[in-house]
Structure 1
Amino acid sequence: MGRINKIQQMAGDKTNTYEGGVAYHLSFKERLAEFFSLGLLNGNFYQSEEQVLKNAKDLFERALGECPEFATKAAIYGNHVNSLKLVPTIWLVYLSTLDDKHLFKTAFPRIIRNPKMLHDFMEIARKGGIRQGLGRNTKKVMNEWLINHLNEYQVSRNKGKLENIIKVTRPYSQDETFQNYMKYISKGELTFPRAAALKEVINFMEKGELNETTFVLIENNRLQLEELKHATQNLTKEDKGKLYEVMYKGLNYTALMLNLVALERVYATRTHVEVKCIHKDGQFQQLKQTIVDETDIPPYVLDMIAARIRDVELYRKSNMLPFALLNAEKMVTTPEFKRAIGDMLRNVAHDVFKIDESIDLLVGVDTSASMSGCMVTDTGSLSAMDIASIFGAMIKKSHAKTNVHAVASRIQQVNLAKQDDVFDMARQIEQAQVGYGTYFEQLMQVYHGEKYVILLTDNNAADQLEKRWLEAKKPAGAKLIVWQLVPYGIKISKNPSIVQIAGYSDRILGLVKNIIEGKSGQVEEVEKMNIFTNEQAKAEMVKPAA
């Protein structure tokens, strides 16, 4: 055994953060749970894209050999709880290489939710270098998904991607409805009502015509704005306004949030084009954005859309990450929309994070340089800082006895008591003047015996928070909850009083609540998932392909 290996064995799994602080390697299952909760970053503050991709490949290949069932549970957890799509889809491709296909077949419909994800799976399987082509068994599973899950909406909304898929997999079913879908996809035949309605509405609009028949077809067939926007160029501004009023009543939540700016532009009374130059990969890029300064949206339309934005049930059905709301709030100019989005985040936090009102919480938000320098791709153009600050605000908004501190080179309490809007609260946290370092021991300088401390961070401290926490005088059962926002494969402690979790979804607030109430942590949540339909199937051994 070499000298380095001997030293490593003596030190156990102790390591250092990128900033030089004391840390520990996560167990392999902890790494999987973290990775499937945070997704695949295209490089980050401390690691290049190449290093991130290599780490992902190594993780997947090891999981395939050691614990494919747990990894599959983690993939489903990441998809359902954290709304991640790419990483769980990549895992399905790895899973498809096993000789025993039962786990793959069981997991496939739990992760693949729509034709776009099915198309992504196909492209990764064919071109990702993970397997040699699709193979007969994989095509069979894809075709079973098509036969069991396609509906009129999916077929007419995803005709191009489905055409690519069926050229490769050649699905067949004697079911007449499915055969009609295939005729529409492959030949363009209008073989079901929604396809015919979509064609008829587009024809009307391209002629500049809108009438009662048009609106009935739109409402009865749940036609979506994205399907019709390209055909609105011949409509008058008045007719376009009428169209948008009708359509926004039926938009699903995701489409609603994505099209708020489009509505503002329809009713714009003053706009301007803003040109920005940004530095990216060594080159300057020029970006143009149309900014709506003033709109004349009718009050009844404002009220209708604001009510739909505040609809928690509609939001939950969308499986949307809360940061789509953050992106939307940055883009819109209409005050009623901004307030409604802020109210939604507040309502979501209240809904998920209901803990005993008497509990005192200390929340630390890491505002160091690395938090701003790491863009989280699964949430759009947002940084770990954006995410940490909004969650810090949501916790404070849902639990009054919470003290929030920004921590970096220094630490500072952020007085949010008089703030009502969660976005204003988040901006106030982010703007705290505490430098750019990573010194988290300072949390213990402001610790006054709170039973629960929550730190939102990328977990790359330059010091040792663990030591100070363990030395502090604390109430029985006290916990330090480290909410990790970037997957570096490390934790600050192995002590059970320090719990680490990961994720971007507001549903993770529910996990924090469970930990506070003495329930299971993240790995345990993944472990207890049941992905099999019966005990006999669960007993089957899944072995890697030779």
Structure 2
Amino acid sequence: MANKAIFKSYLGKLLPGTDTKNHEGAAAYALTAREALAQYAVTGTFNNTFYADGADQLDAVRKLALEVEPGFLGKVAIHAAEKGHMKDMPVALLAILSGLESDAFARAFPRVVKSGKMLRGFVQVMRSGATGRKSLGTRPKKMVQAWLERASTEQILRAMVGNDPSLGDVIKMVHPKPASEERRALYAWAIGKPHDHAALPDLVKALEAFRRDQTNPVPDVPFQMLTSLPLKREHWVEIARKGGWQMLRQNLNTLARNGVFAVEGFAEELAARLADPEQVRRAKVFPYQLMMAWKMVDPKVPAMVRDALQDAMQTAIGNVPAVPGHVVLCPDVSGSMSSPATGFRKGATSTVRCIDVAGLMTAALLERNPKARVLPFENHVVNVDLNRRDSVTTKADKLAAIGGGGTNCSAPLKKLADEKAKVDLVVFISDNQSWMDARPNGQASGMMVEWARIKARNPAAKLVCLDIQPYATSQAATPAEVLNIGGFSDAVFSAISTFASGKSGAESWVKTIEDTVL
């Protein structure tokens, strides 16, 4: 008989040893440069998180960016903008890319900078010196000029909402060469210089006319350009009718304060727009944004409009996968998860906490997988009674109300292993900064030890570790049956679905980026 002291099973020496430490100082697995950059790209906001500040994140991103080839860096920037729906991270990656000898910058720029807000963000990053330079430079300047020349009048007007820098500052910096008298007049008007009024675009003429006399029709411009005027209820009704879906979602309380819902039939009209599945999909709204809009809406907003937000939520989570077999959902409800999901930022900290996101994503997955088991964890697994018939928002609120304690990522897996449970897929939603189950560096993490016990009974089982804040470490190594992904857009649901179905492997998160056409 073989000597059991020497020939240990998969549970022992064959498990991969940890090779770094997380932000709690506990042993962890370092992600590769590509994996880490991919996670920062869809979770990083350069604000202070529970364990790291914005400067730490930027420093980490700069270092990682120089470890990958420029082509991959450009693809990451595009993925962060188009799939992750991020704002700061894509333009920061572009700024870093602009300093490298590669045509990837010129190829990625139009895919990333599709709005005036992104354009101003790119210029702000470049001027800050945070990525190594304080001026635009020749190539970036030409790309900004090209954006201005391609932009429609409507895009130029939307870009004028916001400062530091303002669009006028950008125009003064890059000196675009107008291709027509209309565009020449528009640039001069935007920076407050003398211009030929007759040459202005019709939309700008309409705006100027309305500013002089509010009996004129309300122009179809960003409402922020009108709020300094003495607007009446009928003006606000027109503003709402002409506003985009995101504008409506973000300004329901403002509309209520200005009496629009007193207009007969308007609440029904607005509710129909908010609940329209096609408009929800085009808006690329995060599910958690809808949840918070629903929670923060004023009671003066009619119930049918509030209900429409919940209908929109169902659309926003429409691609949540239904996974066959035994599914286990493990939301992290420890103390660190009470921090804002997009980090602390003075004067603009989001009210959405990591635990809110974890609760929502768990509830969304449970909606499509009603037989799934939910094991919230902190120091240990926390018992929670969820009514499967409750709405997604109600279940998310119940999970988010737990909160507190240390982080022990191996706790749910230990419970499953001790029970000798049948397992096909386990999904963790966490910041992955486990420390209560810490083991000596170089040994397998507590999470991998317990996962090996589960795998011994469930050879086909798969593990997904969804990271909702960027720290570049994981408690799970990345063998074929473990997927480390990041973010909280609906893109992660697609990644989980393809991984669970066997259509992609552990490297799929990075491969999705690599497959981007640059």
**Taking structure 2 as the reference length, what is the TM-score of the superposition?**
0.84
Q: Which amino acid aligns with 1:438?
A: T
1: CA distance, partners of 2:374 / 2:314: 16
Aligned length: 469
Q: Structure 2 vs 1, CA of residues 159 and 370 (structure 1 numbering), >3 Å: closer, same or farther?
A: closer
Q: What is the CA-CA distance between 1:439 and the residue it aligns to?
A: 1.8
Q: Which amino acid aligns with 1:341?
A: L
Task: Give the alignment partner of residue 223 of structure 2, picking from 222, 225, 234.
Answer: 225
In structure 2, the partner of 1:6 is none
In structure 1, the partner of 2:367 is 397
> More deviation in 363-372 or 457-466?
457-466
> More deviation in 128-137 or 34-43?
128-137
Q: Superposed, which structure 2 residues align to 1:245-264 within 5 Å?
A: 245-264=237-256
Q: Does residue 1:346 correspond to 2:314, yes or no?
A: yes
1: CA distance, partners of 2:284 / 2:478: 33
2: CA distance, partners of 1:158 / 1:15: 44
In structure 2, the partner of 1:58 is 63
Q: Structure 2 vs 1, CA of residues 223 and 254 (structure 1 numbering), >3 Å: closer, same or farther?
A: same
In structure 2, the partner of 1:311 is 276
- Deviation sequence 1:357-397 (CA, Å, 0-9, x none): x4332111100001113541499332211111111111112
- Deviation sequence 1:188-216 (CA, Å, 0-9, x none): 654111101112223332xxx4xxx52xx
2: CA distance, partners of 1:302 / 1:382: 27
1: CA distance, partners of 2:284 / 2:185: 30
In structure 2, the partner of 1:68 is 70
Q: Which amino acid aligns with 2:152?
A: N
SS at match of 1:412: coil
1: CA distance, partners of 2:321 / 2:77: 27
**Taking structure 1 as the reference length, what is the TM-score of the superposition?**
0.80
Judge conservation of contact 1:359–1:401 (CA < 8 Å) in 2: no
In structure 1, the partner of 2:453 is 471
Judge conservation of contact 1:20–1:461 (CA < 8 Å) in 2: no
1: CA distance, partners of 2:185 / 2:509: 45
Q: Does residue 1:386 correspond to 2:356, yes or no?
A: yes
Gaps of 5+ in 2: 1-15, 438-445
Q: Structure 2 vs 1, CA of residues 16 and 159 (structure 1 numbering), >3 Å: closer, same or farther?
A: closer
Q: What is the CA-CA distance between 1:50 and the residue it aligns to?
A: 4.0
Q: Does residue 1:519 correspond to 2:503, yes or no?
A: yes
Judge conservation of contact 1:72–1:91 (CA < 8 Å) in 2: yes
Q: Structure 2 vs 1, CA of residues 418 and 516 (structure 1 numbering), >3 Å: closer, same or farther?
A: closer
Q: Which amino acid aligns with 2:427?
A: I
Q: Does residue 1:489 correspond to 2:472, yes or no?
A: yes
Q: What is the CA-CA distance between 1:256 and the residue it aligns to?
A: 0.7
Judge conservation of contact 2:291–2:313 (CA < 8 Å) in 1: no
Q: Structure 2 vs 1, CA of residues 381 and 57 (structure 1 numbering), >3 Å: closer, same or farther?
A: farther
Judge conservation of contact 2:335–2:405 (CA < 8 Å) in 1: yes
In structure 1, the partner of 2:410 is 441
> More deviation in 174-183 or 444-453?
174-183
Q: Which amino acid aligns with 2:469?
A: V
Q: Does residue 1:359 correspond to 2:332, yes or no?
A: no
> More deviation in 401-410 or 171-180?
171-180
More strand by share: 1
Q: What is the CA-CA distance between 1:138 and the residue it aligns to?
A: 2.2
Task: Give the alignment partner of residue 50 of structure 2, picking from 45, 48, 59.
Answer: 45
Task: Give the alignment partner of residue 78 of structure 1, picking from 80, 90, 97.
Answer: 80
Q: What is the CA-CA distance between 1:315 and the residue it aligns to?
A: 2.2
Judge conservation of contact 1:346–1:397 (CA < 8 Å) in 2: no
- Deviation sequence 1:432-476 (CA, Å, 0-9, x none): 37x512122221314731311111000012221221111114544
In structure 1, the partner of 2:259 is 267
1: CA distance, partners of 2:425 / 2:252: 39
Judge conservation of contact 1:82–1:321 (CA < 8 Å) in 2: no
Judge conservation of contact 1:361–1:451 (CA < 8 Å) in 2: yes
Q: Structure 2 vs 1, CA of residues 247 and 139 (structure 1 numbering), >3 Å: closer, same or farther?
A: same
Q: What is the CA-CA distance between 1:12 and the residue it aligns to?
A: 6.8
Q: Which amino acid aligns with 1:441?
A: S
- Deviation sequence 1:508-533 (CA, Å, 0-9, x none): 212211111223321111111111xx
Judge conservation of contact 2:157–2:222 (CA < 8 Å) in 1: no
Judge conservation of contact 2:288–2:357 (CA < 8 Å) in 1: yes
Judge conservation of contact 2:331–2:377 (CA < 8 Å) in 1: yes
Q: What is the CA-CA distance between 1:37 and the residue it aligns to?
A: 1.2
Q: What is the CA-CA distance between 1:411 and the residue it aligns to?
A: 1.5
2: CA distance, partners of 1:258 / 1:82: 20
Root mean square deviation, CA, Å:
2.5
2: CA distance, partners of 1:299 / 1:401: 44
Q: What is the CA-CA distance between 1:344 and the residue it aligns to?
A: 1.5
Q: Which amino acid aligns with 1:158?
A: A
2: CA distance, partners of 1:315 / 1:67: 36
1: CA distance, partners of 2:251 / 2:374: 34
Judge conservation of contact 1:89–1:121 (CA < 8 Å) in 2: yes
SS at match of 1:232: coil
Q: Structure 2 vs 1, CA of residues 189 and 38 (structure 1 numbering), >3 Å: closer, same or farther?
A: farther
Q: Which amino acid aligns with 1:469?
A: W
